[in-house]
Structure 1
Amino acid sequence: MNFKDLFNFLAQLQQNNNKEWMDANRKWYKSLRNDFIVWLDDLDLTMAQLHNDYFPTPGKRGINRINNNLMFHPHKPIYKDHFGAGLDKAPNSADFYIEIGVKQCLLAGGFWRPEPKTLRSIRDGIDYNGEELQEILDRPSFKKLFGGLYEDEKLTNAPKGFANDHTHIQLLRNKTFAVEHQLRMEEVLQNDFKEKIIEVYMEMLPFRQYLNNSASV
């Protein structure tokens, strides 16, 4: 995958974020998209060997559309400023997300504002065994890569059914349970980028498994 060419395409797209420019450069876009899918396929095969519960996710299934959803976000530009994809993408589970863009590159995973039933299940899991989640979050290697949970809106008070003095009230108040690792463009362009992804994936895995086990109950 020629990520330098991908960055070049995305930079030009953001300076010409309109259908006319995209139509004129459709061949370039499709070539990069196909290369990205092949790259994802290779990464998917490698990651499938890391643990038995990995959910195979071919590149065509994992890759995201480059068009923004203007029906719900009418003020956004027509096209995104990045290529994105989710791997290890079992239904109703926390996938592993890759984003390569001109403004930011990142690796992330978890649940971003899950629907109420899933959110309740995660909170029930924390109520039952929040110590395990807190231990994962407190690991020095985890903190080094992710810092902490993704900062998003939180409840002011305890969610319904939980006490304000709950031992894990700070976790329970979260609406989003996700983490992210920011990447520099230089890291994406290096030959060991794949190894970097695997490092982040493996460090994140216990966190995602905890969430999936809670959400499946």
Structure 2
Amino acid sequence: MNKDTLEFLSDLTENNNKEWMDANRDWYQETRKGFLGTVGDLLEELKKRQPGLEGLRPKDCIFRQNRDIRFSANKAPYKNNMGAYFSPGGKKSVGPGYYLHIQPRECFLAGGIWMPAAEQLKKIRQEIDYSGAELEKIIKAPSFKSAFGDIHGERLKTSPRDYSTDHPHIDLLRLKSFVVTHPLTDQEVLSDGLVETCLGYYSKMDEFHAFLAQAVDDADGGEGII
């Protein structure tokens, strides 16, 4: 990671237009190159314990800097962050994976599945119905809880179809996303120990991911994204 990555993103936030980007194209390319290097280092380490990542290249995991503004009221052309997703199939996968988000004063790492499609969500809820006690045990373990707190995600206000309001795991069944996060300071992101820090927290997600992967395997072949 280049030491001026956050400075670049901060300036981009204040000057989010094509004219500024064109004038600072070289700075952007150098910043992106540094981020690609960090993502590559992370990917190589993750491949040692996640065989499904074999064959992925760093650019397969990094999201585009350009925003899709076709259906957005916000017409700023560029994202004010850099992000990468590590999962079989790369950034376009739809099952559990690891995420890294770089943004001045708002950096974080994450894992899980974000807004699964209807068929996947149905599968996850079925798994919770059958084995919710197992998921409860995973997410309430002291090491998991201290690292990530609670699962994040939009929730239904009522119980999902086919599940009663007094289901023992109704709080989990109401979730529409299954994501855990851990904040990173700007200093951590720019330090030489970033990869090691990320790997340490990603390893704490392994049982959580295994549960989600088992749930969605029949739905999509086990490929994933948060």
- State the TM-score, normalizing by the size of structure 2: 0.89
User: CA offsets per residue over residues 140-169 of structure 1, 9 Å max, x none?
Assistant: 11111110101x331122111111111111
Question: SS at the partner of 1:97?
Answer: strand
Partner of 2:61: 62
Give distance in 2, aligned partners of 1:14 and 1:156.
35
Partner of 1:188: 189
Question: SS at the partner of 2:183?
Answer: strand
Partner of 2:224: none
Question: What RMSD, in angstroms, separates the aligned Cα atoms of the two structures?
Answer: 1.5
Give ranges in structure 2 of 5+ residues lacking alignment: 219-226
Does 2:204 align with 1:214? no
Give ranges in structure 1 of 5+ residues lacking alignment: none
Does 2:47 align with 1:45? no
Give distance in 2, aligned partners of 1:144 and 1:38.
30
User: CA offsets per residue over residues 62-92 of structure 1, 9 Å max, x none?
Assistant: 0001112211323252211111010134443
Checking the alignment, whether the CA contact within 8 Å between 1:108 and 1:181 is kept in structure 2 is yes
Does 2:165 align with 1:164? yes
- Flag as ranges the 4+ runs of structure 1 deviating above 2 A: 50-57, 88-92
Partner of 1:17: 16
Aligned equivalent of 2:98, options 96, 100, 108: 96
Partner of 2:110: 108
- State the TM-score, normalizing by the size of structure 1: 0.93
Give distance in 2, aligned partners of 1:96 and 1:112.
11
The one-letter code matched in structure 2 to 1:197 is: C
Give distance in 1, aligned partners of 2:167 and 2:54.
35
Partner of 1:8: 7
Give distance in 2, aligned partners of 1:77 and 1:97.
23
User: CA offsets per residue over residues 161-184 of structure 1, 9 Å max, x none?
Assistant: 111111111100111111111111
Give distance in 2, aligned partners of 1:9 and 1:82.
10
